[in-house]
Amino acid sequence: MSKILNIRLPASATTTQFKPQDFNQLKEAVQQIVFQLNNSYTPITSENTLGALSWMSGGSGGGAFSGHVRGFQDSVGMTKPYGMFMDDADQSSAGVTSENIVRMNTPIFGSCIRVEDDTKLYFDYPGQYQINVSCQVVNQSNEIQEFELWAKNTGINYPLSNTRFDVPARKSTGVWGHIAAAISGIFTVTDPVTEYLEMAWWSESTDVYIEHYAARTSPTRPEIPSVILTAHFLSAETNDG
């Protein structure tokens, strides 16, 4: 409740003529008010706050805005950083002895995370970030070929981040073998000014590369990006010593 129920005071309380029963009635009225204050009274401002929190968190009683879509304020005083990035072009292999860097030339949405030079993922705040990346890999050869995908921290290979994939041989001339090579991990940022994340890949044949597909019809289907990368803030704790 947000209001104190009206308590009827003695009729003679506004006069100078008091009777013993008037004092008893007044005493009982005051006791009821104190009881309500101690047990059931909630200020209107507090009720409004609770109602707003219930609405924002998707409480009972109908549709509500989900705070997880927009992000709540953390103790560091910011909305949780997030981002989704894609690439809309083929990415060919530089050779069987060369490292290739994954490009992400199409920002979809995000906050406090950005891509520079089409490959470098920068984060505005220190902390730990969940990274998920998927590459549409194609094999034009008639043999199974190896493809590897790993992470780099500011140009240095991230330890134990590599994953191997075996890409199927082509089905026939013009019908290639395909896989979606996907990995995930946690990237720790201690210095947002200098640190950045890149994804690297290698294939044992130049017939294996990352491919983009145009939109198709019958039925109508959206285009397939060569790369999809998502990132979101996990914790301000970097576990740095």
Q: Which domains are delineated in the chain? A: 11-65 (no CATH), 71-235 (2.60.120.40)
- Residue 56, pLDDT score: 38
**pLDDT exceeds cutoff 60 at 99:** yes
- Cis before 10 (ω within 30): no
148: which residues sit within 8 A by CB, 6+ positions away?
162, 163, 164, 165, 201, 202, 203
Q: What is the mean pLDDT of residues 215-229?
A: 97
4-29 per-position pLDDT tens digit:
555 565 555 555 666 666 666 777 77
In this prediction, residues 136-151 reach a mean pLDDT of 98
- Identify the pLDDT of residue 28: 73
Contact 165, 146 (CB under 8 A): yes
Name residues whose C-beta falls within 8 Å of residue 36's C-beta, 6 or more positions apart in sequence. 1, 4, 5
Burial class (CB in 10 A: 0-12, 13-18, 19+), 197: buried
Tokens 């397939």 belong to which residue? 224
Q: What is the mean pLDDT of the chain?
A: 82
Q: What are phi and psi of 28, to 5 degrees?
A: -65, -35
Neighbouring CB atoms inside 10 A of 181's CB total 19
Q: Say yes or no to pLDDT of 50 above 60.
A: no
163-219 pLDDT, tens digit per residue, is 999 999 999 988 999 999 999 999 999 999 999 999 999 999 999 999 999 999 999
Distance CA 105, CA 117 (A): 8
pLDDT of residue 43: 56
For residues 127 and 44, the model is more confident at: 127
Q: Contact, 208 vs 167, CB < 8 A?
A: yes
Which helix (H) or strand (E) segment holds residue 24: the answer is helix 20-39
Cβ 73 vs Cβ 79: under 8 Å: yes
DSSP lists the bridge partners of residue 147 as: 165, 203
pLDDT at 87 over 60: yes
Q: What is the dihedral of CA 119, 122, 128, 133, to 10 degrees?
A: -20
**Interatomic CA distance for residues 13 and 7, integer angstroms:** 13
Mean pLDDT of 54-63: 40
